Structure 1
């Protein structure tokens, strides 16, 4: 893409130039043009003309750039190059939630892949966890079993609805911890954990939904409610949403969802109506496809045109294989277990007595310690903790501190 900057004569109205769009296209013998009038921060009008021969932007070049390397945030992701050839990176903490939309083959899935690979380069599994929801079953399958995941990639739409409810519950749990600790956001909480050596640090959680339309067809009300609750409240507790769809219609991207997701990326769409649904203005219908995007940043009035990165399937497989060697994943839940999340706590759990003995031996009890010791999911470990508390074996919750054990082994034998 080449941009010509035109400085109009004093007294010439901007709309006189924008109305000449077709005449300019004819004179330049261009396939299509896009007029940005005026260029933000300048007193010129930009006329963008597609180049005859396009140049690919590879993710490896972006990762080597100083803009990416020198950014201290573990949630830094490389997006692409702007029209002047400068690398553009985004910090998910500042986004704090993103909507990615465009027609089939426009570059949405590649964009998601580049963000996920960027996060794997930038952050360890202790710093950033991911929940990947992929109703199409194939787009995010290569990321299965990486240590950053809180569960295997979720492919069932009904299970995905339950997964979003789990995220809402996790958000509420984190805010309860913050309230007990007297902090407002995740960064300060983790600093407090490090200073006082109490409990465990909370990782950031990135939730990626690759096709929102499939979920909205199964359970529109539940999905919309969960997404809106997460988008409204989850930023301070370190949970961030990335939602992609190839159907940018109002029944998929509802007014409530759009109002709560400030950062948006529009790829090539078929009509001006679709463009307005995504970024509240026309322009995306004139994009060229193959990674050509309009990036509307949180707090920005006008979108920036970027050429998105490209990462091949082979490169993804190599990165994933390398990350898998570092550590085995510790899942907080499996898909089957998630469907039972709403069920009542039952007394029948074969691990209950073993968990009690383990807690007495360690003289403390926490959900994470049971997960590690018995290799179970978060939900089952939380149920065991609830059962122990109900039996009077351990104390109630004390913020991020482990619970006190109130029984000895002899007391436990008498209880049996």
Structure 2
């Protein structure tokens, strides 16, 4: 067992601080061995993110993991079911992940090629899956990912190893076998596999054995050839690595040598990563453009993954490189070299020195669409470009190229609203694109106007409001995934509501216990337990009915966080029945001591005497009748499900906010339109309001705890 498994969290954190990368993998070791500068570019700076259609089809092919997961449960997925899963994966690939090439000059063409290749791979698998299944007695693990400290060649490696293992089986002879799926245009030769595959096999074996304690007997690599054999024959080739003691020692020694050199490099902030000009797997121009960029750029110009990389060490290293390079070479010369290198990176505008608006104009011109970006507005989490479209140009044609625009801007997606934007008396087509946050929209009490609660600001610096004094907008729906900014929005609304004198009471229904800080604040009540929430809502209904009966008003703001989870766990059916002891008659009369009859005692039985309304029904009653007496409400949830946010339920929400959600269908469930899946998170939202025919993109206010009133 590795000595590092005995370290405390504090010791591990100190150990990790000495290395630029926070974990290693076989792909990192292989990349370092092949091209050190490529390793630095990809695995340290996160620079190379675009992949070709064939590479992405290989990723989509790995969705056959769903077949094996179903197999574990005794279910066999059909080929159409597998294709549906893989095609959904392809549809969800971000625009800036696609590498545009000569044969695939648009993302639509790249997707078409990717889909065609994936279809061939899946057909091959389904026709020849006996190559796997004939040997399987039991499926043990499917697509497992884990990180663990390993001992390689007798040496404890001070950086944990991260692996993803496609499939682990037990065969009919009781052997434990790891299987790795690979997609290929042509089969690798036996000689090539024998010499190169052992190091990858040993990485899987050492990691799996350390993670599970189970000894692995063999590793199989199954190559799936998507190009058809002209003479027919098998499209799947299974290559087996049998792990006897001598083979283990050999492959472990082969793995240790490049791993040791990589560990030494990432522990040395002054290490110079060498360029291998003969590496055919990396675009040479892209590599030199990256090298030139490291000589002059700031750390925030790189897409560094802080989960995988120690950003502080990279920043110190980058500062040293920049200071030493600019002393020996003028920045002007470096910039010119970078520009020259970038000019050879075909079909990729993200590396050029064009301004974003120039990239938008350029990419559309390549499709014969003449436009001019007349105005650019820099928002908090997104930018808005206003396009002056030439006469005769169909707006739909621009909509069709939004992924190509996103690819040029190196963002996951762009949003193009259906309606034109009128600015300074002229109509423009809007393009909204997410960006890295460069400032926060801090909560400011001065933004409050009367009973108008500020929701946020759009990219045109206009404040958006929720007016509590308007009966036409009494209830607000807020949806967003974890990290989207939903909770920060609720806190902002509560804090503004506390400043409004007309708000008599703020009721927070908080089943996730996220608002406990408000439980001791004046005119705020917090309820967490589901029974307490149900009782309070029932009391609110009774109070509402009393106010209606007496013709009175009371401004009560009800903030219901994670209402979907609360409704799901609330009492239903027979649990809502009210029971009491009911007299159902008398017992038989008896005779007293003198012989006179005495009436029998009453006979009671526990019976249902009524039925409580469910939490969901009580909330619906409040929304239907509460607006007239001053009730206002915010319902928030992470679950953008049609079962939760039904069409009938949405009728009661005049305002709807959707922060970032995982899928387009989630966005459509909440706001009846796509777009929320493209948001940047952390308060970047879309507002649907009766005052606007189109969705409004905005940034929500953020209130740090230290400025809580």
Fold shared per TM-score above 0.5? yes
Runs of 4+ in 1 over 4 A off after TM superposition: none
Larger radius of gyration: 2
Distance 1:115 1:53, change over 3 A: closer
1:204 aligns with 2:579: no
Structure 1 partner of 2:408: 27
Structure 2 partner of 1:174: 547
- Structure 1 CA distance for aligned equivalents of residues 437 and 533 of structure 2: 42
Shift of 1:53: 4.5
What's the CA shift string for 1:321-353, capped at 9, x where partnerless?
Answer: xxxxxxxxxxxxxxxxxxxxxxxxxxxxxxxxx
What's the CA shift string for 1:27-81, capped at 9, x where partnerless?
Answer: 3333432112333556321011233452100002xx224xx2xx333xx312111
Structure 1 partner of 2:320: none
Q: Which of residues 266, 275, 296 in structure 1 aligns to 2:688? A: 296
- Structure 2 CA distance for aligned equivalents of residues 6 and 220 of structure 1: 53
With normalisation by structure 2, the TM-score equals: 0.38
Structure 2 partner of 1:400: none
Where 1:36 maps in the other structure, the secondary structure is coil
Where 1:98 maps in the other structure, the secondary structure is strand
- Structure 2 CA distance for aligned equivalents of residues 88 and 250 of structure 1: 27
1:10 aligns with 2:391: yes
Q: Which of residues 529, 535, 542 in structure 2 aligns to 1:162? A: 535
Shift of 1:93: 3.2
- Structure 2 CA distance for aligned equivalents of residues 223 and 248 of structure 1: 19
> For the Cα contact (< 8 Å) 1:106–1:268, is it kept in 2?
yes
- Structure 2 CA distance for aligned equivalents of residues 238 and 53 of structure 1: 38
> For the Cα contact (< 8 Å) 2:434–2:679, is it kept in 1?
no
1:85 aligns with 2:436: no
- Structure 2 CA distance for aligned equivalents of residues 93 and 168 of structure 1: 21
Structure 1 partner of 2:495: 117
- Structure 2 CA distance for aligned equivalents of residues 176 and 52 of structure 1: 53
Q: Which of residues 405, 417, 438 in structure 2 aligns to 1:54? A: 438
1:64 aligns with 2:446: yes
> For the Cα contact (< 8 Å) 1:293–1:305, is it kept in 2?
yes
- Structure 1 CA distance for aligned equivalents of residues 571 and 409 of structure 2: 47
- Structure 2 CA distance for aligned equivalents of residues 220 and 93 of structure 1: 34
- Structure 2 CA distance for aligned equivalents of residues 220 and 10 of structure 1: 61
Where 1:281 maps in the other structure, the secondary structure is coil
What's the CA shift string for 1:142-171, capped at 9, x where partnerless?
Answer: 11122213xx41101122122212111111
> For the Cα contact (< 8 Å) 2:511–2:527, is it kept in 1?
yes
What's the CA shift string for 1:233-259, capped at 9, x where partnerless?
Answer: 111100011100011112222332212
> For the Cα contact (< 8 Å) 1:212–1:252, is it kept in 2?
no
Distance 1:297 1:239, change over 3 A: same
Shift of 1:110: 0.6
Q: Which of residues 233, 240, 244 in structure 1 aligns to 2:625? A: 233
Shift of 1:220: 7.2
Structure 2 partner of 1:104: 482
Distance 1:53 1:267, change over 3 A: closer
- Structure 2 CA distance for aligned equivalents of residues 58 and 92 of structure 1: 22
Structure-to-structure mapping, 1:313-328, within 5 angstroms: 313-316=705-708, 319=709
Uncovered stretches (5+) of structure 1, i.e. residues with no partner: 179-188, 190-201, 320-416
Distance 1:53 1:72, change over 3 A: closer
- Structure 2 CA distance for aligned equivalents of residues 40 and 283 of structure 1: 17
Where 1:3 maps in the other structure, the secondary structure is strand
Uncovered stretches (5+) of structure 2, i.e. residues with no partner: 1-381, 573-613
Root-mean-square deviation (CA), in Å? 1.9
Shift of 1:113: 0.3
> For the Cα contact (< 8 Å) 1:77–1:118, is it kept in 2?
yes
- Structure 2 CA distance for aligned equivalents of residues 156 and 22 of structure 1: 46
> For the Cα contact (< 8 Å) 1:57–1:309, is it kept in 2?
yes
Distance 1:255 1:38, change over 3 A: closer
Where 1:261 maps in the other structure, the secondary structure is coil
- Structure 2 CA distance for aligned equivalents of residues 19 and 283 of structure 1: 15
- Structure 1 CA distance for aligned equivalents of residues 403 and 702 of structure 2: 31
1:147 aligns with 2:522: yes
> For the Cα contact (< 8 Å) 2:491–2:703, is it kept in 1?
yes
Shift of 1:213: 2.0
> For the Cα contact (< 8 Å) 1:209–1:244, is it kept in 2?
yes
Distance 1:96 1:56, change over 3 A: same
Structure-to-structure mapping, 1:235-314, within 5 angstroms: 235-314=627-706
Shift of 1:5: 0.8
- Structure 2 CA distance for aligned equivalents of residues 267 and 220 of structure 1: 30
> For the Cα contact (< 8 Å) 2:384–2:459, is it kept in 1?
yes
Higher relative contact order (CA 8 A, sep 6+): 1
Where 1:122 maps in the other structure, the secondary structure is coil
> For the Cα contact (< 8 Å) 1:103–1:247, is it kept in 2?
yes
- Structure 2 CA distance for aligned equivalents of residues 235 and 114 of structure 1: 22
